[in-house]
């Protein structure tokens, strides 16, 4: 490890922060970390809501960030993903660090999860909601051939990291000045439908739905919703078109290719609007539910 650490004082909070420079995509990135005991002594909270969005560098996560700022223009957002360059570009586009700040790193890394929560609390003094959107699809392969190490990795990214970040954010979500904290877990139709070649992905999303149900049972001060976002026009679909032939059933593969050719993939902003509205307004009656972005349960949250 050639990481370097140092301590500095973050004005105006006067909190001592330990900054670790870590390698990420070949670059040294400052990943802020702070003792969790410090997090509850932060500055007086911002009067405006504070939201965390994972996988905010591109695709659905970035669309959710932008929809969130349209719905709640005063909100502060802490975005995260591995690509520091993309997150820096998003920050510049959205008008600076008070609207959108970020932590670059792998969401499965516990120190990254801590840095995300610590940075949000050090900067704005509260956390009102988290969108758990970062996700991966591979390995696409027949069940008999899935490398176990890849199976472990997809569960780590799509499920375990969600629990890890949630655990760290829960003390703040429970005490949200909004009266309820909110979690939106980006799930998939694959959570309830088995597809050839997608055993790992389907299993991870089914587990995510159950995690949402369990959170709803055990955390009454937090509304947790699992959202099916539709077949989105993002890099993930491009990846399926490029790599899915021979891995998925022919009919499924052709369905995705045709949807792209016909322009019927879902615009991430249109579906992302529903995710953002759920983060801001979802009521307790939705907690633990798995909802479709086009479903009647979320009609009031769809783009008009
Ligand atoms: N696309 C669809 O049709 C579809 C359908 C149903 C559900 N979904 C779900 O929607 C969510 C977003 O999908 P998408 O289509 O926007 O995917 P995408 O275009 O591949 O984007 C994935 C995002 O997750 C981040 N990410 C991936 N692995 C990460 C890791 N280990 N640590 C931190 N960040 C990581 C990526 O950023 P970096 O690469 O910079 O880390 C990126 O921001 C996923 O949970 C996916 O399962 C998608």
- Tens digits of residue pLDDT in 124-145: 999 999 999 999 999 999 999 9
Q: Which long-range contacts (CB under 8 A, 24 or more apart) does 135-140 make?
A: 135/55, 135/186, 135/204, 135/236, 137/198, 137/201, 137/236, 137/239, 137/240, 138/200, 138/239, 138/243, 139/200, 140/197, 140/198, 140/201, 140/240, 140/243, 140/244, 140/247, 140/248
N-to-C CA span, the chain: 51
Is 304 part of a structural domain of the chain?
A: no
Question: pLDDT at residue 1 above 50?
Answer: no
| Euclidean distance between CA atoms 278 and 69, whole angstroms | 13
Question: pLDDT at residue 188 above 60?
Answer: yes
| Euclidean distance between CA atoms 260 and 77, whole angstroms | 31
87: pLDDT confidence band, cut at 50, 70 and 90?
very high
Question: pLDDT at residue 164 above 60?
Answer: yes
Q: Which atom of ligand 1 is nearest to 81's Cα? A: 34
> What per-residue confidence (pLDDT) applies to 3?
35
For 11-65, how does the pLDDT look when each residue is reduced to its tens digit (9 = 90+)?
Answer: 333 333 333 334 333 333 333 333 333 334 446 899 999 999 999 999 999 999 9
Question: pLDDT at residue 7 above 70?
Answer: no
Show the domain range for 171. Answer: 50-230+275-294
- Total domains in the chain come to 1
Distance 56 CA to ligand 1 centre (A): 9
> What per-residue confidence (pLDDT) applies to 44?
82
Q: What is the mean pLDDT of the chain?
A: 89
Which among 57, 176, 187, 271 is annotated as catalytic?
187
| Euclidean distance between CA atoms 172 and 174, whole angstroms | 5
Distance 60 CA to ligand 1 centre (A): 7
Is 103 part of a structural domain of the chain?
A: yes
% of the chain surpassing 70 pLDDT: 86
Is 4 part of a structural domain of the chain?
A: no
Is 120 part of a structural domain of the chain?
A: yes
Q: What is the mean pLDDT of residues 65-89?
A: 98
Structure pTM?
0.89
Query: Residue 91 belongs to a domain with what CATH number?
Result: 3.40.50.720
Residue 62 has which token pair? 């970035």
Residue identifier of the C-alpha nearest atom 43 of ligand 1: 55
The values of phi and psi at residue 140, to 5°, are: -95, 110
Pocket perturbation via mutation, ligand 1, pick of 153, 162, 236 by most ligand atoms within 8 A of CB? 236
Could you give the strand order of the β-sheet that contains 4-10, starting from the edge strand earlier in sequence?
4-10, 15-24, 27-33
Is 185 part of a structural domain of the chain?
A: yes
CA distances from 26 to 21, 22, 82, 83, 134 (A): 12, 9, 11, 10, 21
**DSSP H stretches of helix in 182-264:** 199-218, 235-243, 250-261
Q: What is the mean pLDDT of residues 64-73?
A: 98
Is 303 part of a structural domain of the chain?
A: no
> What per-residue confidence (pLDDT) applies to 127?
98
> What per-residue confidence (pLDDT) applies to 16?
33
Is 257 part of a structural domain of the chain?
A: no
Among this protein's residues, is 201 annotated catalytic? yes
Is 20 part of a structural domain of the chain?
A: no
Question: pLDDT at residue 117 above 90?
Answer: yes
Among this protein's residues, is 72 annotated catalytic? no
Give the binding-site residues of ligand 1, using a 6 Å CB cut-off.
55, 57-61, 81-83, 86, 106-108, 133-136, 157, 186, 188, 229, 231-232, 234-237
Residue identifier of the C-alpha nearest atom 11 of ligand 1: 133
Among this protein's residues, is 33 annotated catalytic? no
DSSP classification of residue 141: B
For 248-297, how does the pLDDT look when each residue is reduced to its tens digit (9 = 90+)?
Answer: 999 999 999 999 999 999 999 999 999 999 999 999 999 999 999 999 99
Question: pLDDT at residue 98 above 90?
Answer: yes
Q: Are strands 15-24 and 4-10 parallel, antiparallel or unpaired?
A: antiparallel
Which among 60, 102, 201, 253 is annotated as catalytic?
201
């Amino acid at each position: 490890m050639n990481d370097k650490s140092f301590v500095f004082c973050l004005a105006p909070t006067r909190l001592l922060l330990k900054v670790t420079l870590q390698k990420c995509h070949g670059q040294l990135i400052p990943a802020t970390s702070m003792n969790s005991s410090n997090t509850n002594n932060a500055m007086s909270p911002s009067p405006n809501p504070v939201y965390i969005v994972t996988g905010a560098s591109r695709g659905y996560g970035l669309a959710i960030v932008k929809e969130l700022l349209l719905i709640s223009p005063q909100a502060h957002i802490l975005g995260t993903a591995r690509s520091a360059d993309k997150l820096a570009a998003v920050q510049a586009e959205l008008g600076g660090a008070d609207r959108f700040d970020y932590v670059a790193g792998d969401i499965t890394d516990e120190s990254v999860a801590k840095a995300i929560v610590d940075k949000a609390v050090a900067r704005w003094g509260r956390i009102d909601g988290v969108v758990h959107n970062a996700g991966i699809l591979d390995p696409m392969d027949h069940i008999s051939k899935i490398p176990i190490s890849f199976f472990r990795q997809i569960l780590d990214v799509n499920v375990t990291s969600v629990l890890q970040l949630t655990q760290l954010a829960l003390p703040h979500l429970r005490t949200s000045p909004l009266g309820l904290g909110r979690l939106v877990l980006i799930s998939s139709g694959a959570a309830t439908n088995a597809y050839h070649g997608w055993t790992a992905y389907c299993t991870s999303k089914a587990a995510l739905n159950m995690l949402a149900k369990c959170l709803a049972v055990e955390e009454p001060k937090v509304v947790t919703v699992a959202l099916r976002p539709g077949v989105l026009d993002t890099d993930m679909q491009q990846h399926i078109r490029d790599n899915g032939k021979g891995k998925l059933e022919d009919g499924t593969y052709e369905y995705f290719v045709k949807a792209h050719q016909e322009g019927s993939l879902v615009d991430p902003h249109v579906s992302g609007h529903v995710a953002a509205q759920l983060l801001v307004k979802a009521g307790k009656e939705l907690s633990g539910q798995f909802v479709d972005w086009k479903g009647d349960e979320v009609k009031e949250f769809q783009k008009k």
